[in-house]
Chain A
């Protein structure tokens, strides 16, 4: 199959089906409602389940129930909706269930706006719900990468028995780009009988399975949290993904940027190269785990005068950039959070103001 032109939201829906996810629960919210519209038509065609829940709160638990009995399951939403699902995300994380969440981020806080934003970085990477849990967070910078990450998200969620979040933004959901759907993974993981409430008789299982998050005994809860921590530590070892850009040059500044914003930064870096000023970029593709070591190494390079986190928020990822750089060079932030995306010219001016 060759390339076809598709809107981001519709491509995300199609990618889920290609990845063998035939169960989708969601609630409408701008700017991602096209995923639900697309899948309300497509799921019946492929014998899948489509259900529009009564609220994002309920949708969170529909995912919980469905994943708990072993089904591969997806939802898509946007910022205020993810806030409502955050209760369920905490429970799902504790119950160690593979669920894929897509957040097509819009501006906040509160109702905010419906234009692109990256202001849910903290919510996605640091919590949102209660308790010690982590999501594996993937950040696409275009429609093709969103498709690839949806395909990747299901096996990752199943490998770790942990929710995976794809953190897009309104632009990725709304724009059209050419996409290609790669050979997809339809095989279900084999280990679900160990934990899923998938029917003792159906699966010839002798012992019953229990999906839960309550540990009233302090020692047992401690043990449970240590198991979760070990999983998050393993993600930090094995799942860090990032794209280096212009990193092989004698750059004078290091940009850290992801998603839609990183595309503007690439143009800015290309424009500066034409002027004879080298600037490098690290684009995190996983926001948790964060590419701490590559950023530290890049910031420590001789001649690098500044690290700049450029993001569509009032300064969230910059905190992770700071703890990555660890004082190897000064760390700065530039961003916007109203829904406008900084232009390449603006980015060039910011970088130039920070280097000699």
Chain B
């Protein structure tokens, strides 16, 4: 009998350090499947962030560089400018991308750098212990907002996909999630589309993935999925915010 479901070649044998119920594992697998399907493992360079995914390179089998906090888009720019033939993606969390790395991501997107950003948004700093992020929801309790996020004090959660979509430079910007099988299928399609745009040297691409952090939310994996659906999805709405094709039609 033929195997119909196997480990992608782009994924390593190593057991991950991610917590039970964390969606990094699903996202890693989707990336690896897309890289296998496009046959680009031998010319892909991933860029790991600072945060829970800092060790992401242990779980893949292609070239990787490890960035400082927030700087992955600048590193991707450096690689892509000198080696446009390489396929480059950054893998970043919300503290990394939306807080300390806000400048780098906006300018890389605005220059239309031809790499792909996988943006994992779970509303908190995971690795450092669940502190408030720019994406923390209104009233959400974290270790640095023990009374809940006070938007009078620190503003509303940042919607990165919408923010980057406001730039005039053509890009592919989408927000998906991986909390249920039907969403996972759509998320994979989006990641593949983003890589395809990069392969065609069309545009910058960003796939935001609404994700869970059961450990820092203090929830079980099942409760975390329910919380994501009830609280995050109404605010971080899923969909395609921008495609390069739309811009060209104007």
Contact B83 A69 (CB under 8 A): yes
Chain B 31-72 near chain A by CB (<8 Å), digits 1 or 0: 000000000011101011000001101000111111110011
Which residues of chain A in 199-237 are interfacial with respect to chain B, using CB atoms and an 8 Å cutoff? 199-202, 208-214
Most chain B CB neighbours (cut-off 10 Å) among A66, A202, A209: A66
Contact A54 B68, CB 8 Å, known A62-B74, A197-B63: no
Which residues of chain B in 98-140 are interfacial with respect to chain A, using CB atoms and an 8 Å cutoff? 103-104, 107
Most chain A CB neighbours (cut-off 10 Å) among B42, B48, B79, B107: B79
Size of the B side of the interface (Cβ < 8 Å), in residues, is 33
B81 and chain A: residue at smallest CB distance: A49
Contact A65 B63, CB 8 Å, known A198-B83, A201-B42: no
Residues of B within 8 A of A25 (CB): 78, 81
Give the distance in Å from the alpha carbon of A59 to the alpha carbon of B48 in the complex.
18
B92 within 8 A of A: no
Residues of A within 8 A of B67 (CB): 61, 64
Give the distance in Å from the alpha carbon of A210 to the alpha carbon of B86 in the complex.
15
Size of the A side of the interface (Cβ < 8 Å), in residues, is 40
Give the distance in Å from the alpha carbon of A68 to the alpha carbon of B61 in the complex.
17
B84 and chain A: residue at smallest CB distance: A49
Contact A71 B63 (CB under 8 A): no
A88 within 8 A of B: yes
Contact A211 B64, CB 8 Å, known A58-B74, A88-B71: yes
In the complex, number of A-B residue pairs with CB atoms less than 8 Å apart: 134
Q: Least Cβ distance of B142 to chain A in Å?
A: 24
Residues of A within 8 A of B210 (CB): none
Q: Least Cβ distance of A99 to chain B in Å?
A: 10
Contact A199 B66 (CB under 8 A): no
Give the distance in Å from the alpha carbon of A192 to the alpha carbon of B91 in the complex.
25
Contact A71 B82, CB 8 Å, known A65-B75, A88-B68, A214-B54: yes
Contact A65 B76, CB 8 Å, known A197-B45, A200-B43: yes
- Majority DSSP secondary structure for residues of B touching A: helix
A55 within 8 A of B: yes
Give the distance in Å from the alpha carbon of A8 to the alpha carbon of B208 in the complex.
47
Contact B43 A197 (CB under 8 A): no
Give the distance in Å from the alpha carbon of A25 to the alpha carbon of B80 in the complex.
13
Q: Which of B63, B66, B77, B103 contacts A62 (CB 8 A)?
A: B77
A285 within 8 A of B: no
Contact A73 B82 (CB under 8 A): yes
Give the distance in Å from the alpha carbon of A91 to the alpha carbon of B47 in the complex.
14
B85 within 8 A of A: yes
Contact B64 A62 (CB under 8 A): no
Q: Least Cβ distance of B46 to chain A in Å?
A: 9
Contact A212 B66 (CB under 8 A): yes
Residues of B within 8 A of A49 (CB): 81-82
Contact A65 B42 (CB under 8 A): no
Contact B104 A66 (CB under 8 A): no
A292 within 8 A of B: no
Residues of A within 8 A of B107 (CB): 53-54, 58
Give the distance in Å from the alpha carbon of A88 to the alpha carbon of B78 in the complex.
13
A63 within 8 A of B: yes
Contact B86 A69 (CB under 8 A): yes
Q: Least Cβ distance of B78 to chain A in Å?
A: 3
A23 within 8 A of B: yes
Contact B43 A212 (CB under 8 A): no
Q: Which of A60, A73, A209 contacts B63 (CB 8 A)?
A: A209
Which residues of chain A in 210-268 are interfacial with respect to chain B, using CB atoms and an 8 Å cutoff? 210-214
Residues of B within 8 A of A202 (CB): 42-43, 85-86
Contact B68 A69 (CB under 8 A): no
A57 within 8 A of B: yes
Residues of A within 8 A of B86 (CB): 69, 197-199, 202
Q: A58-B77, A62-B81 are in contact. List 7 more A-B contacts (CB 8 A).
A: A65-B75, A68-B65, A69-B83, A73-B82, A199-B45, A200-B63, A212-B64
B residues whose Cβ falls under 8 Å from a Cβ of A: 41-43, 45, 47-48, 54-55, 57, 61-68, 71-72, 74-79, 81-83, 85-86, 103-104, 107
